[in-house]
Every structure is written in structure tokens, then in C-alpha cells.
A and B are shown apart, each in its own frame.
Chain A
């Protein structure tokens, strides 16, 4: 037992030392200015927000908004900054932020009160709710039909949490990303896959046979998307929010919305009047 305790102690020590080697308490803007690099956390497979397109390039609505923030940061620090993108996922994005590996998560992250305990969010840039995608003709028409069924969710997502807490009779299968979950659905290993409605529409349109898939049900949750950053760094947060407000006020936001969700886009999703009003009312005066 003596040796056992010693090994434990040693491990704690090593963990602590490794931790100390990481950055020591500089603000995000200082870090970006000093290193000349601004790193955003993006996704590989969450169209149309953040994904790798057919030309094998990173693209998406959230990525484009990240680029607007990038411009805002360049203006603020007064020099050219390089923007880098790193893959993040629901399970890794908070550690990526706290370990200083990325400066801003710009993908499909839902702003929640629990998450606000450890990170900060920008203003809301998109609003959706959780739904189910099923094979056409499935008996599942919404949340009331999922008891005893195999329902796929993404590891670490808010949808997973809601299903676990409110629909505990469903058999949850938690997979690491959208691609894995949709593959399992296609193979019949899942009866339905639950995610934010807009992402399910994205999946449906991106699949080889869009007609075969149906997005069903009323929203079982409310999912406001925000950009996430390290906690208690209000200078940086102001830069991010100002960039978003200017984009909404100046119309660039709506151009991007048209590009990704307009009638000619892959995932047509008209903006509701309620959301437009909400978006505009988040913009505070100059």
C-alpha cells in the first residue's frame, strides 16, 4: 500500500507541473497580439454551420462569423493577425478553451447557465431546438414515441442531457459526432437521431438521398447558439460582441444568413420574424 500511495502522489505532482508549464494568466487579446495568431474552434461535420465541404475546405456560417470577429480583432490590436482553425467537439471544446488551445469556439455551441459557470458566451447568433431525424415512414413522429427506442445523440450535447433527464425511457446511444450517429441511423442501429433541428436539416440535405429522411417532432428544447470564450475576459468579449453587433447592424450577418440558409442554399431555412426582432434587439447603441 505504501508504494500505491507514493505513485498516486507522484502522479498528482506530474499533473500539476505539466499544468504550470501552460500559459500564465495573460488576457486573450494580449495572447493574440503577442503570438500574432487567433485560433477558433470549428467542426468537421456540422453543416451548414461548420464543416469540411466537397472541396475539402473548412466552411460554414459559424466559420464566416468567426472571420468577421477576426477582422474586429485586427482593428482592435492594430496589426495583422493570422486566423487558425482547430477541430473541436462538444466533449473537447471547453478544455480547448481553458487550456488556451483555442481562443473562441465558433460552431454550434448552445449557451446554457451551467456552461456559463466555466466559460463566457457572446450574444446569441442563432436559435434552434432539438428534433429527431428518422427514416421516412418511421413510427416515431416526435418525443412522445421514443420510449424503448434506440435514440442517438452526440456526446456532450445539450440534447443528450435533455433526453437523459426528461425522456429517460428512451435507450440512449451516445456517439462522438454527427457523422458516426448518422451512419448508425442509416444502418438501422438507431431508430432516430436527436439533434438541433437546423443541423438535422443540414444532414438531410447533405445526405445522398435526402428524400429518404424526415425531420420530425416539435422542438423539445431551446438552443440559442453563442460563441464561447474563456471566462472573465471582458475586453475580448466586447471585441467579439461588437463584431457581431456591427455585422447585424451593417447587414453582413443577413448576407451570410442568405448565403447559408437562403432559398438557393443547401439548407433553406427562412428566418422567422421573431428571431430577426430578437437579433436586432441584441444590438446596443454605439
Chain B
């Protein structure tokens, strides 16, 4: 199968479970998951806030949200990582900066970069969900005595969140995979661990294949959880799902 390297390459899969390599891989997976889950929560929060603001019936609020989305989604994540690591901390007061330096500045810079970047992308997904809801829902909410904020909180957003599960799954998978970029600012996540094993053992194919398969497994698990969520929270009659479209 890997005949192309046959001349020079000998496989040795055992490097993956020889110590300390296995510990690095496990630590790497845990760091990736920690980075992804914290960033995901923040990104979804930012996405809901700015996605809702993008559809708000007040122009200044829409403008602020549009600025956020366009500014953050149109610069590559790698550039944002460098910005949040080398640039942003420099403007903080020295005490705060030193505190971050002593408490894992690499990790928190990566959290900031990934959550703000993916927040802008989630905002668009959520905006699309909100705009798919007929305007009559908003009007019905308002005429029943709810304020705009309450209508969003109680009616619009709960429906929108259900509508957007498939694109949100997509975004969540992207977020998980994008955590691999954090190694460029020294976060020891999964890709970092794989490279580490590779440089110690020079077994590139084994190390990178293991990382690829672990990412694949993580992503497949996320998709199946999201599929379950989609089925579980579907509103009967609102979203056709689980059966083929009838003709």
C-alpha cells in the first residue's frame, strides 16, 4: 500500500504507544478538546449575540454586528493567532500581561483567536437561521405583549437554533480542526504531539496518520452527537426530517 516509500521507509507503528509518546498523544487530544470546547462555547455565544444583532430592527445595532462579522471572518485564522499572541497582549497593563504570561498565555491567545474568528462565522449561520423564520413569528410575539428582546429570547432564537443544526455542525467541525493551527503559537495540542513524535522518532507516516485518524474519529463523534441533537429537538411539523421528502 505504501510502496512509494518502500525503498527507504520501514513502518514501526509501535512508536505510537511507546512511552512517552502515548502520553504526548493523550495530552495532545485533551488539550485539543479543551481548546475546542472552550472556544466553541465562546464562539456560539458570540455567534448568537451578533447573529441576532444582525437581524435586529435597529440600524446601529445591525451595523455593529456587520462590522464584527466582516472584520473577523475576512482575515485568516493563522493571522489572528499571531495577532492574539504577539499583538494583543502588548496593549494590556503590565500586571495583567505578566499574569497571562505566567498562566498559559499561548493557550488563552489561541482561545481568543479561535472563538472570535469562529464567532463571526457562527453569527452568519445563526442569522441565516433567524431569517428563515417567517416575519409573522416576530409580529405574533410582539402583538402578544413581549418585547423585542423577549421575542428573540423565547421564540426566534429557540427556533433558529433548531434550524441551523446542519450548518452549525459544519462550523463546529471546522472549529475542532482549526485548533490544529494553535501549534504555531506553541500550544501542545494533537497536531503538535504528532509532530513531536515524528521529530523524535522520524516516523512521519505513523505519527501523522495517527493524528489524522484521531481527528477523523473526533469529528465523526461530533457529527453523530449533532445528528442526535437534531432529531431530539426537532419541532414536529416544522422541520421535515427523518423521512424522505414526499412527492
Seen from chain A, the residues whose Cβ lies within 8 Å of a Cβ on chain B are 4, 7-8, 11-12, 15-16, 19-25, 90-91, 94-95, 98, 114-115, 117-119, 150, 155-157, 161, 173-176, 180, 183-184, 187-189, 230-233
B196 to chain A: which residues have CB within 8 Å?
155-156
Distance between A154 CB and nearest chain B CB, rounded to angstroms: 10
A156 to chain B: which residues have CB within 8 Å?
195-196, 198-199
Query: Chain B: interface secondary structure?
Result: helix
25 contacts between A and B (CB under 8 A): A4-B217, A11-B212, A11-B213, A15-B212, A19-B1, A19-B2, A22-B4, A90-B199, A94-B199, A95-B198, A98-B5, A98-B8, A114-B202, A117-B202, A118-B8, A119-B202, A155-B199, A161-B200, A173-B106, A174-B186, A230-B7, A231-B8, A232-B7, A232-B8, A233-B8
Q: Is the CB of A91 within 8 A of B86?
A: no
In the complex formed, the residue of A with least CB distance to B9 is A98
B163-213, CB < 8 A from A: 183-186, 188, 192, 195-196, 198-204, 209, 212-213
Identify which of A16, A98, A188, A233 contacts B1 (C-beta below 8 A).
A16
Q: Tell whether A23 pairs with B213 under 8 Å between CB atoms, given A91-B199, A94-B198.
A: no
Q: Tell whether A94 pairs with B204 under 8 Å between CB atoms, given A11-B213, A16-B2, A174-B192.
A: yes
B6 at the interface (CB under 8 A from A): yes
Distance between A182 CB and nearest chain B CB, rounded to angstroms: 11
Most chain-B Cβ atoms within 10 A of its Cβ — which of A115, A173, A230?
Answer: A173
Q: Is the CB of A8 within 8 A of B216?
A: yes
Distance between B69 CB and nearest chain A CB, rounded to angstroms: 29
A183 to chain B: which residues have CB within 8 Å?
86
Q: Tell whether A91 pairs with B8 under 8 Å between CB atoms, given A4-B220, A118-B203, A189-B105.
A: no
Q: Is the CB of A15 within 8 A of B220?
A: no
> Which bracket fits the contact residues of B?
35 or more
Distance between A27 CB and nearest chain B CB, rounded to angstroms: 9
In the complex formed, the residue of B with least CB distance to A181 is B186
B200 to chain A: which residues have CB within 8 Å?
114, 161
Q: Is the CB of A155 within 8 A of B183?
A: yes
Query: Chain A: interface secondary structure?
Result: mixed
B93 at the interface (CB under 8 A from A): no
B101 at the interface (CB under 8 A from A): yes
In the complex formed, the residue of A with least CB distance to B187 is A174
Distance between A281 CB and nearest chain B CB, rounded to angstroms: 28
Distance between A188 CB and nearest chain B CB, rounded to angstroms: 7
Q: In whole angstroms, how far apart are the Cα atoms of A62 and B89 in the complex?
A: 37
A161 to chain B: which residues have CB within 8 Å?
199-200
Q: Is the CB of A174 within 8 A of B4?
A: no
- Which 8 A-B pairs have CB atoms at the shortest separation, nearest pair first? A156-B199, A118-B202, A16-B1, A22-B4, A25-B7, A95-B204, A231-B8, A19-B4
Q: In whole angstroms, how far apart are the Cα atoms of A184 and B100 in the complex?
A: 13
Q: Is the CB of A91 within 8 A of B7?
A: no
In the complex formed, the residue of A with least CB distance to B209 is A15
Distance between A93 CB and nearest chain B CB, rounded to angstroms: 9
Q: Tell whether A8 pairs with B183 under 8 Å between CB atoms, given A24-B3, A25-B7, A91-B199.
A: no
